[in-house]
A and B are shown apart, each in its own frame.
Chain A
Amino acid sequence: MNETTAHAHIQTAHAQTPHSQAPGQQHPIRLYLFVWGLLFVLSACSYMVDYLGIQSYLRWTLILVFMMLKAGLIVAIFMHMAWERLALVYAILLPPVLVLVFVALMVSEADYTIFTRLAFFGAGP
């Protein structure tokens, strides 16, 4: 990279990350209160899924959507991840995504276990 392009990158970095210049993550209280309210509403929604007795795929879609929205808000705003540098964001958020591979392995393993249990011991204990 020559000096001119390096300088151009520095300029964009400067323009795109105004927050990271402020020492120690200063954000308006109003934003925290808004997220707090949103988390209340989302929790109420996931509680209503159970209270109204919604079943099957719709239940799972709603539960997972509300769960991910809540988790995302907590990590992004309360834990300030939205304003951290990408190096930290990727180092922390990518490894848990790989846990999904482990989940898939164990679903397959559990399916095999229940299959052999039913095949050799029948349905009851």
Chain B
Amino acid sequence: MAQTIETHGEPDLRPVGLRGIAADFSSDQRAFKTASWGKAMMWIFLLSDTFVFGCFLIAYMTARISTPVAWPNPSEVFALHIGGEDVPLILIAIMTFVLISSSGTMAMAVNFGYRRDRHKTAMLMLLTALLGACFVGMQAFEWTKLITEGVRPWENPWGAAQFGSTFFMITGFHGTHVTIGVIFLLIVARKVWRGDFDEERRGFFTSRRGRYEAVEIMGLYWHFVDLVWVFIFAFFYLW
């Protein structure tokens, strides 16, 4: 049929719904018609990362359910002493708002990227990187506070020893993702700023033509980091 020879970027004339899925998966070219290979590969990487974080959270759930020792109350553990009284989870709340804001600036950077407004795109990406760095900074503060209070991967002053190991593992792995994201943002922002994507300059590593889609692919990674934090916030800090 005529629509099987459609390629990326041309008008979409393919069937939709379940029939569309069957047509896409049985096609003799690529399954994900409107997503380029770069975008599809980032999605598949993120799917694998979902399983990694999923396993971490499931391990934490298993440890927490199966221990007869009382689990520390996160609402009290993560409280900060401000103005003479303990405010529960205040640092975590600020970290959440900072990360959501960075997701907002990233989404707008993608938008300005496709409008080929390279200065606005680069500035929004730098702002995203700055907010990400703020998040990592606050996490370093949180870790320092807990370590001085005696939390270790094998013990803590408030109850079940498993609290320490799961806390450092889950937040540590998420913080690593944010840090790698900040570096990734700076690299792509530099490419945007000097106009690599306007002149389709080839990448030093892949030697493929640079396109503004790189900003969207970078955005997928960044939003995923925010997405994981939504689950960590709900399961680790609110449970």
Contacts and interface: CB of A to CB of B under 8 A. Distances in A.
Tell whether A and B belong to one assembly: yes
Interface of A: 1, 6, 9-10, 12-14, 16-17, 20-21, 23-27, 29, 32-33, 35-36, 39-40, 43, 46-47, 49-51, 59, 63-64, 66-67, 70-71, 74-75, 77-80, 84-88, 90-92, 95-96, 99, 102-103, 106-107, 109-111, 113-114, 117-118, 121, 123-125
Contacts of B34: 20, 84-85, 88
Interface string B132-173: 000000000000000000000000000000000000000000
Given A24-B213, A40-B100, A85-B34, A10 B230 contact: no
B13 A121 contact: no
A77 B223 CA distance: 10
A102 to B, nearest CB: 6
Please tell me the size bucket of the interface on B.
Answer: 35 or more
A84 B35 CA distance: 7
Nearest to B50: A96
Contacts of B51: 95-96, 99
Contacts of B47: 92, 95-96
A85 B111 CA distance: 20
Given A10-B14, A33-B104, A43-B97, 10 more contacts: A12-B16, A13-B14, A17-B16, A39-B104, A43-B93, A71-B231, A74-B103, A84-B32, A85-B32, A113-B62
B31 A50 contact: no
A120 to B, nearest CB: 11
Given A21-B12, A84-B35, A86-B20, A79 B224 contact: yes
A119 to B, nearest CB: 11
B212 to A, nearest CB: 7
A95 to B, nearest CB: 6
A24 B12 contact: no
The secondary structure that dominates the B interface is helix
Contacts of A106: 58, 61-62
Contacts of A47: 89, 93, 96
Contacts of A10: 2-3, 13-15
B47 to A, nearest CB: 6
A14 B20 CA distance: 12
A96 B20 CA distance: 22
8 contacts: A20-B12, A23-B9, A26-B115, A43-B100, A47-B93, A51-B88, A71-B227, A99-B54
A20 B96 CA distance: 32
Contacts of A51: 88-89
B13 A78 contact: no
Contact of B238 (A1, A50, A88): A50
Given A71-B231, A107-B65, A9 B15 contact: yes
